[in-house]
Structure formats: C-alpha cells, structure tokens
Structure 1
Amino acid sequence: MTGGSGVVVIDNGGGLLKAGFGGDKDPVAVVPNCIAKSPGTSASSKKWLAADQLQAQDVDVTGMTLRRPIDRGYLINTEVQREVWERVLRSLLQVDPTNSSLLLVEPQFNPPGLQHATDELVFEEFGFSSLYVADAPSLVHLYEASRQPSLFRAQCSLVVDCGFSFTHASPVLQNFTLNYAVRRMDLGGKALTNYLKELVSYRSLNVMDETLLIDDAKEKLCFVSLDVPRDLRLARLSFKDNPFRCSYILPDGITSKKGCVKDLDEARRYYSLPVDGELDQKDGDSDTNKFEDKKKPELSQNEFALTNERFLVPEMLFHPIDLGMNQAGLAECIVRAVQACHPFIQPVLYESIILTGGSTLFPRFAERLQRELRPIVPEDYHVKIIPQENPILGVWRGGSILASSPDFASMCVTKLEYEEMGSARCRRRFFH
C-alpha cells in the first residue's frame, strides 16, 4: 500500500497536485488541485467533483465552476484543500494519515499565517504523525543531482520553475535555496490560460467560462516562437498557406464530453518551418501545393480556430512588456537572480539552469530561452539549459528521494511537538 519509507509525499501545486509515497519513482496521483461542478447544479446540491473525478471520461467539463484552494500561489482556502486531500488520501492513495509522515511541498515565502493554517490542516484535520515542509527548487536540484554527476559535483544550480501562479528563478547551493537571490515573475500557467481565453473570446466565441477546455487547448496547441516577427507575418496568410491555423473542437455533451484538436497533423505543420529566416520560394510552393485542395472550412458553433494565438500566449513569459505588463521577461529575471549571488558561483549557475514546471513543456521553450540569455550573459560564461525529463513530476521526484533518506525522520516535526510548541516554533526547523 505504501512505498518503502511509509512517507506520503505531496507536491501541492496550484494547478496540479502530485501525491504518492517516498522511495517510489512516480506519484500515484497527478490530479487537478480543485473542486468543480457542472452548470445547472444548484449551489446546495453535493455535486462538486474533486481531483481525479474531473479526469473521468464521462464527465462533461463544459462551463464548469471551479474552486481552487490555492490563489496567486498560496493556500487561501483550506476547506477546498481538505476536500481534495480527502479524495486523494482516502480513495487514491488509500492511506491512513494518522499512521503516516507527510512531506509537503509549500510555496516559497509562504506567510506565517498561511503556514499556521497549513499545519492545522495537516495535524488537526488529518492527524498526520509528523511533517516535513520542503520548497520546490531544492527538491528539483536534489533530483537532478542524483541523475547528473556534473550537477552533483558543482553542488549548485539555478532552478527556473514556470508554475501555475508564478515563475521563479531560484539559485540553489548544497540543496538549500538562496532565498535572498530568488527572483519572481507574476506570470504562470494560469495567466497564460486566461490570456488565451480573452483572445479566443474576442476573435471567435465566448470561452471565458471554459477554463478546463482552454487549458487543454493551450497545452496541445501552443508553442514558443523562435522568430516572432516572421511568424506574425506568416499568421496573416490565407488559410491555405498559414502554417499555424488549426481548430479546437468543444464537446457537445452528447457524443463527446472532452475537447480535442481537429487535425493534429495540421496543428504540427509549424515543425517543418526553418528555424531562422523566411520560408524560401520552394518551401512555400510545396506547402501551397500540398494544401491547395483545402478550402477554408466553415467553423461550426462548437469549434474555434487558432493562428497567432498559438505563439503569442507563451510569448508572455519572454516579453511581457509587449503585452502591456510592466515586468521583465524570463531571461532578465534569470540574470537578476544570478547577479544577486556571490561572483564565485555565478558562472556555475549559468552552466546549470534547470527548467521545471508545466509551461516549460511548450515546444522550443529551452531553445528560445538560450537565444534570449546569450546576448545578456557575459561572453566568457557558458550557458547550459537542462530541461527536466518530466517537468511536472520533477519536484515530486526530489521529494520522494528526500523522504526515503535515512535522516528524514529526524528532520520532521512530530504531532506531539506541534501540540506542545505550536506552529511558529516548530516551523523554525524548516528554515531553508
């Protein structure tokens, strides 16, 4: 029933919750960290679905009302979190918390009031026997250092976490996050989804209430442009010649309950574009001939087309100021984090930039970041970007390694210590 260590590991993300047992390679559950109900369900009825129930094939996600426990990166609704944890622990992990330790991944710079509320949830609501609180960057470094000898020897890295609520650039030294050097962008997966909702609603049909569907469309269709001016020109071409145009079909609630991409091959046409410069005439001709028999289809009421939205949405992370946000882009955020560290470790940090978080899954993300960084990093420093094998599970896997270490039990705060000393004093043990 449990992993070898008997420790429950929860990476409590704003978008997805990852839960499993220490010592295992992968979590048991990767589920939405929210509860939701369909439209038409009265407020008083108990039709709220939690976690994995939202992933069931027979659930129509159209127009669902969502309630998330985490807002702007922090746990602000413990009632909703309790419902999600209840579902995950009892039904998916089938574990008794009173006989288990918990390793919980908590947001960086969590205010004391929210730390106290979290401790109450862990010890008083669920009755876990002991708790260890970890932060994401140190766990990502731990996991990657266990796989890569060069990182293990260097003992430091720069973890770039493009999460649901925020994007952090966090230097890590000897498994400790250097909090004074962490730099943050107030942009994450949620903001990208909201931007795509606004673009689609303005240009075709109102999808402002379709968070889960637009999330899915974003993940399947968006990509990072390596040449934005060129791609904007291509996106203005007619349907026949436009390499980006594709359609996303909304569920009708009868024959389909989930959204889908209309033509995946067509959606991937951009992969054949040359990396630099314009399409030459030969490429253009062959592309035109290949698709010349296609006429621009009439969009049905339950689908919408995307063109330049596909790369303009991830572009927010690289150049938010172009979209009216008074923030530095990702490359500048990384440079500021490195410059806040001692000069001795700066070149090593540039050589070990680890990408984690769901937004780093956009195609060409790492290549674009390399291009953005190179001109603003000193010439005599190497820049090496390390994408994670699975950037959604990287934090959890680091937690699994830590939870199965021989010293883990001595690092935890026990329920008895919490009851005797209170939350604030116990938390001093987790200063990272």
Structure 2
Amino acid sequence: MANTTVVLDNGAYTAKVGLANEDEPQVIPNCIMKAKSERRRVFVGNQIDECRDTSALYYILCFQRGYLLNWDTQKTVWDHIFSKDGIGCSLENRSIVITEPQMNFHSVQEAMLEMLFEEYRVAGLYKTTSAELAAFNYVADSEERTTMQSLNCIIIDVGYSFTHVVPFVLGRRVLEGIRRIDVGGKALTNHLKELISYRHLNVMDESHVVNQIKEDVCFVAEDFKNAMRVHECDKKRKEIAVDYVLPDFTTCKRGYIRMPGQPREEEEHQQMVPLCNERFTVPELLFNPSDIGIQQVGIPEAVVDALKACPWEAHRELLLNILIVGGSAQFPGFLPRLKRDLRSLVPDDLEVSLICPEDPVRYAWYGGKEVATSVNFEEFVYTREEYDEYGIHGLHQR
C-alpha cells in the first residue's frame, strides 16, 4: 500500500504531488488561468505551459487569504492532477498524505474529508501541515537524529499567502508558539506591480509577468538603511540598477535582465522596465510588513516571539535548528539578513544557525514521501471505514 500512496503538498500557489515511490514530485500551479489571447480556453494547472501568450493572465485561485475555500476550482485542478495529463493515476482506493494550512478551520477540514472520501473514493487519509512534513524530512536528512521525538527545531514557512513560524519541541508542534505574518509571495508580487505601475508602465493585470520579474531581479538587502543610499551617487546606482526586458510573446516568452554592452538584436523593439531600489524594497516586506500598512512584526521578531512560548531549556537547540522552506525563501541575501537580525535579538550566549535546503519549494513533499514509506504509516491513516462510521469527529479524536 505504501508504494501506491499519493503525497500531495497542496499549497495556495502550487501543488507538489507524486506517488510515494517516485523520486520527485511534479510542481503544478494550483489554479485555473484564462488568457487574453485564447479566450475560448481555460488553462488548468500545468496546461499554462501550452499558452503562447501569457500577458494579462487572469487567475482563478482555489485559496483565498491562505485557506481553501473555492472547492469547484480545487476539484477541477485535482481532476486534472489525477488524470493522464497529471500524475497519470487516480486516487480511488489509494491512501493520500495531504497538507493543510496551520490552524485550519473545522468547516474547511470537513469539506476536504468529504471530497476525498466521497468524490475521489480514497482508501485512507493522513492529514498534516507542510511544516510538520518539513520537520519529518529534516529528521530523515539528519545523521545525528534518529527519531522525530528528539527533534527541537523552528520551521519558517514563507508561503504564498502567509509566512508561518512553527516551533517543534521534542517532535511536537508547540501550538501556542505558532506565529503567522500576513505577508507571502502574493503580497510581494502585488507590491512590485504597484511600484512598477506607479513609476513606469501599468502592469496591474500582469501578475504572471511581474512574478517572473520578482523571481529574476529581487534580493534581500543585508543592511537596508545603507542600501537605501543607492541614489546618493552614480556608482552605487550602477551597482543596483538593471533594465528588465519584458516578454513580447513572439520572439521572447520570458523576460530577462538586459546585459549592459551586450545587446541582443531584438531588444530595440521590446519594452524595458528600469528597476533600481524596487529590487530590495519588495522582499523587505518580509522583515518590515508595516511598509505596506500591515501592523505586524517581521520574521526575526516573530521567531523570537515564538521562542518565548517554548520551554527555556529548548531555546539553545531551537536556535541551532532553524529550517526555512517555501518559495519566497529563495531570495539571494535572505539567510544572511535573517541571521544578522536574529543575532541582534537573542542573547549573546546562544548561537543562531539557519538551514535552507537546496529545494525549499519541494522539501515538505519529500517529508511526505518519508512519512508514506515509513514502517508504521498504516497506524496513522484514517481509513474509509472509520470515516463511514465516525465522520470528521473520528479524525479530531485521533
């Protein structure tokens, strides 16, 4: 049964999905998209790769403010994922390991169970969070630790809608220590859209293109105040400023940073966006959400606050095992800045060590694979028979 278990890290932006006996998951956009260029067709998940012109792409998302609320959209995406065009196998009579947001609403959990057991006819279900799967994978990756029960760590999950700080003491989530910041990849992309639209040209409908710009040019400044002196002299400005060539979807499908002194032939006819301090002021929101009016602390302060809810005996080990996952953890300069800010907030006699895996987006999925192939996995699965007898209440009692 373990071989046929499906592992689905069901994120708000992408779903990471695959069979537990596969080496790696597919990463599929967890949404439906409509393009201006092809009005008669909707693109589900990774079908967007077939779209020739992704300008003014309209997204219909399954998640709203970080919670799975649009079930019709989610069913359409899951139907695609579990078809021949997706992972090529159905869910019927298979077990599934599936993730949900931290502190998920009971009504959302109930709807998920109902859909999986009644629409997809799964044999059993193991419901967890991506932070728990990341912690499980961290134990599996570590040579020193042999069991989850000995794990003290802090998971920072920089997601699409939220950033969560989740402390684990002796392998269990410290629920009163979980902290949520209402800033994630979506807020950063929206902020960059506003900056470019205000300063250069209107890109408010270009979420897809602006998201690519964010991925290609943004970085975290180690010293933000110093970085903001970029306009004091031409030398500093030249170090930061770039011209980003926008895609025209005929000769160029994805934008790129223009190399000074090495122009390409087609560049004369293409639109460019000059970018300077936008490159580091956008990711700065992860450290200072108040820059866009969100009255919350940044990641370093949230980590320290989470620490206060944990037993003091575990503080030393927690700070030595801070694991960062999620798509927005990939900005260059993110780790040094976070370490510097944390260092100034925690006692001098405690060391701070940050770990960011090579693939922070799929890291939790690999944890799900470890769970699904573990020896005692069957004991944790909530089966269809149990669901038929007890409904959602049986799962809560678990």
Q: TM-score range by the shorter chain?
A: over 0.9
Q: Measure the CA separation in 1 of the matches of 2:145 and 2:282.
A: 32
Q: Which residue of 2 aligns with 1:312?
A: 281
State the percentage of identical aligned residues. Answer: 35
Q: CA deviation at 1:420?
A: 2.2
Q: Measure the CA separation in 2 of the matches of 1:300 and 1:233.
A: 33
Q: Measure the CA separation in 2 of the matches of 1:255 and 1:225.
A: 34
Structure 1: 5+ residue runs without aligned partners? 267-290
Please point out which of 90, 93, 107 is paired with 2:87.
93
The answer to whether the Cα contact below 8 Å between 2:2 and 2:372 also exists between their aligned partners in 1 is no
SS at 1:67 equivalent:
strand
Q: Measure the CA separation in 2 of the matches of 1:159 and 1:185.
A: 14
Q: C-alpha offsets along residues 272-319 of structure 1, whole Å, 9 cap, x if unaligned?
A: xxxxxxxxxxxxxxxxxxx7x99xxx9966331211101001101112
Q: Which residue of 2 aligns with 1:76?
A: 69
Q: Measure the CA separation in 2 of the matches of 1:423 and 1:392.
A: 30
Q: CA deviation at 1:355?
A: 0.7
Q: Measure the CA separation in 2 of the matches of 1:240 and 1:308.
A: 11
Q: Which residue of 2 aligns with 1:35?
A: 32
1:344-383 alignment, distance < 5 Å? 344-383=313-352
Q: Which residue of 2 aligns with 1:207?
A: 203
Deviates more, 1:223-232 or 1:145-154: 145-154
Deviates more, 1:244-253 or 1:357-366: 244-253
The answer to whether the Cα contact below 8 Å between 2:237 and 2:276 also exists between their aligned partners in 1 is no
Q: CA deviation at 1:190?
A: 0.5
Q: Which amino acid aligns with 2:19?
A: F
Q: TM-score, normalised to structure 2's length?
A: 0.92
Q: CA deviation at 1:229?
A: 2.5
Q: Which residue of 1 aligns with 2:251?
A: 255
SS at 1:159 equivalent:
strand
Please point out which of 382, 389, 394 is paired with 2:363.
394
Tell me how many residue pairs correspond in the alignment: 392
Q: Which residue of 1 aligns with 2:17?
A: 19
1:241-252 alignment, distance < 5 Å? 242-252=238-248
Q: Measure the CA separation in 1 of the matches of 2:237 and 2:36.
A: 40
Deviates more, 1:298-307 or 1:336-345: 298-307
SS at 1:149 equivalent:
coil
* Pair 1:416–1:326, CA change in 2 (3 A): same
Q: Which residue of 2 aligns with 1:122?
A: 116
Q: C-alpha offsets along residues 21-51 of structure 1, whole Å, 9 cap, x if unaligned?
A: 1143311x10111110112655xx4x11011
* Pair 1:417–1:241, CA change in 2 (3 A): closer
Q: CA deviation at 1:327?
A: 1.1
* Pair 1:239–1:262, CA change in 2 (3 A): farther
* Pair 1:173–1:25, CA change in 2 (3 A): farther
1:162-311 alignment, distance < 5 Å? 162-235=158-231, 237-238=233-234, 242-256=238-252, 258-263=253-258, 302-311=271-280
Q: Measure the CA separation in 1 of the matches of 2:181 and 2:127.
A: 23
The answer to whether the Cα contact below 8 Å between 1:137 and 1:172 also exists between their aligned partners in 2 is no
Q: C-alpha offsets along residues 30-83 of structure 1, whole Å, 9 cap, x if unaligned?
A: 0111110112655xx4x1101111134x53211011101011111000111111
Please point out which of 2, 7, 10 is paired with 1:9.
7
Q: Which residue of 2 aligns with 1:324?
A: 293
Q: Which amino acid aligns with 1:31?
A: I
Q: Which amino acid aligns with 1:73?
A: G
Q: Measure the CA separation in 2 of the matches of 1:235 and 1:84.
A: 46
* Pair 1:355–1:152, CA change in 2 (3 A): farther
Q: Measure the CA separation in 2 of the matches of 1:336 and 1:399.
A: 28
Q: Measure the CA separation in 2 of the matches of 1:214 and 1:169.
A: 27
2:376 is aligned with 1:407: yes
CA RMSD of aligned residues (A): 2.2
Q: Measure the CA separation in 2 of the matches of 1:151 and 1:208.
A: 48
The answer to whether the Cα contact below 8 Å between 1:239 and 1:245 also exists between their aligned partners in 2 is no
Q: C-alpha offsets along residues 108-146 of structure 1, whole Å, 9 cap, x if unaligned?
A: 111010011111221122111111101122211111111
Q: CA deviation at 1:323?
A: 4.0
Q: Measure the CA separation in 2 of the matches of 1:381 and 1:152.
A: 24
SS at 1:123 equivalent:
helix
Q: Measure the CA separation in 2 of the matches of 1:428 and 1:189.
A: 35
SS at 1:254 equivalent:
coil
The answer to whether the Cα contact below 8 Å between 1:22 and 1:400 also exists between their aligned partners in 2 is yes
Q: Which amino acid aligns with 2:29?
A: P
The answer to whether the Cα contact below 8 Å between 1:116 and 1:424 also exists between their aligned partners in 2 is no
Q: CA deviation at 1:99?
A: 2.6
The answer to whether the Cα contact below 8 Å between 1:166 and 1:185 also exists between their aligned partners in 2 is yes
